[in-house]
């Protein structure tokens, strides 16, 4: 998966997409990169363990299940590894989970929605637009979005397994407000193309198998493209160090809005949106 990632920075007029927010004052080395009393001692290739946790509010509409909107709270947990240098940022999300419990307006049924996935992104500086450096990257996502509705008997299970390409844009800004610098990231991404395996193919999720027993394997596969698929993800983050000017570990507090839609066959579509409030922790490992 390939993604184009734009990372820009405003405020100081100089670029530092990664660790500028940690610095009490800005100065730059002969390579044009940020240099402070302690950053100069950090390795050129920094490896971070990334841990995300938070809570969410979701809205689900799966027309194979009903024409109802299911809403409810949930939790978010993800583990990743990030490598940062002057020339690139690599990030593995090797385990990401969201767990949602939702009910429709009539409250009579409950949908348990575990969502899991993994992903990889690779970012490189591309060009500079005024004060904003543009970064270009690669990204791939594998996502399993499962809906379990126990009260629906044989129609209790629905799932989408998707692999997709996502262009991504990110802007970093450092407004000076209330006597200090505030470090923000704004990111936007959109699905471009992918592949989906959907369960069930039609009707009930539980079927009679060719061996006379039970099977859940009546899947339908489809290519995902802008004509039948849309995914939008927006995030706004505030970031800072853990405290102390020599602490290389940092965090981001953010809000993520994630939406996806698959126009399925026979006019039976799937919509899923979640509002996630997350705390991302970054621990330097080298």
Partner 1 sequence: MYLHMCCEKINTIVNALPPAPRRGLAHWLILPLLLISCEKALMEPDAASDPETVFEEIWTFADRHYSFFEEKNVDWDALYDTYRPRVDPGMSPVALFDLCAEMLYELRDGHVNLLSSFDRSRYWQWYLDEPENFYYAVIERHYMQNRQRLAGPLQIVNLGHLEGVGDMIYAYYGSFAQTIGESHLDLLIGSLSGTAGLILDVRNNGGGSPENARRLVSRFTAEKVFVGTNYRKTGPGHNDFQAEEVFIEPHNGLVHTGPVIVLTNRKSYSATTYFAQFMKALDNVTLVGDATGGGGGIPAFRDLPNGWLLRVSSSRFTGPGGQSIEPGVEPHVRVSMSEEGILEGRDDILEKAIELLSGNNS
Binding stretches for partner 1 (CB under 8 A)? 10, 59, 61, 63, 65-69, 104-109, 149, 151-156, 171, 173, 175, 184, 186, 188, 201-204, 206-214, 218, 230, 232, 234-236, 255, 257, 259, 261, 265-266, 269, 271, 273, 275
Structure tokens, 61:
């509409």
- Minimum distance from CB of 248 to partner 1 (Å)? 27
Distance CA 141, CA 177 (A): 37
Contact between residue 254 and residue 237 where contact means Cβ atoms under 8 Å apart: yes
The residue (of 242 and 277) whose beta carbon lies closer to partner 1 is 277
CB 260, CB 144: distance < 8 Å: no
Give the nearer residue to partner 1 in terms of CB position, either 180 or 266: 266
- CB of 221 closer than 8 Å to CB of 201: no
Closest separation between CB of residue 43 and partner 1, Å? 32
For 269, the token pair is 């579509």
| Buried b or exposed e, range 118-152, using 16+ CB within 10 angstroms | bbbbbbebeeeeeebbbbbbbbbbbbebebebeeb
DSSP string, 136-178: EEEEEEEEEEEEE-GGGGGG-EEEEEEEEE--EEEEEE--EET
Give 45 or 265: the residue with its C-beta nearer to partner 1. Answer: 265
Shortest approach of partner 1 to residue 2 CB, angstroms? 23
Q: What is the largest CA-CA distance in the chain?
A: 73
Q: How far is the CB of 26 from partner 1 (least distance, A)?
A: 19
Of the pair 74, 248, the CB lying nearest partner 1 is at: 74
Q: Is 281 exposed, middle or buried (0-12, 13-18, 19+ CB in 10 A)?
A: middle
Nearer to partner 1, 69 or 81 (CB): 69
Q: How far is the CB of 132 from partner 1 (least distance, A)?
A: 11
By beta-carbon proximity to partner 1, the closer residue of 171 and 193 is: 171
Smaller CB separation from partner 1, 65 or 192: 65
Asked whether 89 and 136 are in contact (CB, 8 A), the reply is: no
Residues 167/141, Cβ–Cβ less than 8 Å: no
Q: 184 and 173 in contact (C-beta within 8 Å)?
A: yes
Minimum distance, C-beta of residue 193 to partner 1, in the bound complex (Å): 19
Could you tell me the smallest distance in angstroms from the CB atom of residue 199 to partner 1?
14
């Amino acid at each position: 998966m390939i993604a184009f990632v734009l990372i820009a920075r405003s405020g100081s007029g100089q670029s530092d997409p990664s660790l500028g927010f940690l610095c009490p004052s800005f100065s730059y080395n002969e390579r044009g990169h940020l240099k402070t009393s302690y950053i100069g001692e950090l390795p050129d290739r920094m490896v971070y363990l990334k841990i995300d946790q938070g809570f969410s509010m979701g809205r689900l509409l799966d027309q194979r299940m009903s024409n109802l909107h299911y809403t409810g709270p949930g939790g978010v947990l993800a583990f990743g590894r990030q490598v940062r240098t002057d020339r690139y940022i690599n990030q593995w999300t090797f385990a990401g989970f969201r767990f949602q419990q939702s009910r429709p307006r009539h409250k009579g049924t409950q949908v348990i929605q575990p969502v899991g996935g993994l992903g990889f992104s690779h970012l490189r500086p591309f060009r500079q637009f005024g004060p904003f450096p543009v970064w270009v990257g690669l990204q791939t996502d594998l996502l399993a979005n499962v809906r379990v509705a126990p009260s629906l008997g044989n129609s209790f299970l629905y799932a989408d397994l998707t692999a997709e390409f996502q262009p991504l844009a990110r802007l970093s800004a450092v407004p000076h407000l209330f006597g200090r610098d505030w470090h923000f990231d704004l990111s936007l991404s959109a699905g471009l193309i992918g592949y989906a395996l959907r369960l069930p193919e039609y009707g009930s999720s539980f079927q009679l198998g060719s061996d006379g027993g039970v099977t859940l394997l009546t899947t339908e596969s489809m290519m995902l493209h802008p004509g039948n698929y849309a995914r939008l993800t927006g995030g706004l983050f505030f970031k800072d160090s853990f405290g102390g000017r020599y602490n290389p570990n940092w965090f981001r507090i953010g809000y993520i809005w994630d939406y996806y839609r698959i126009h399925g066959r026979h006019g039976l579509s799937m919509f899923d949106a979640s509002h996630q409030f997350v705390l991302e922790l970054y621990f330097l490992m080298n």
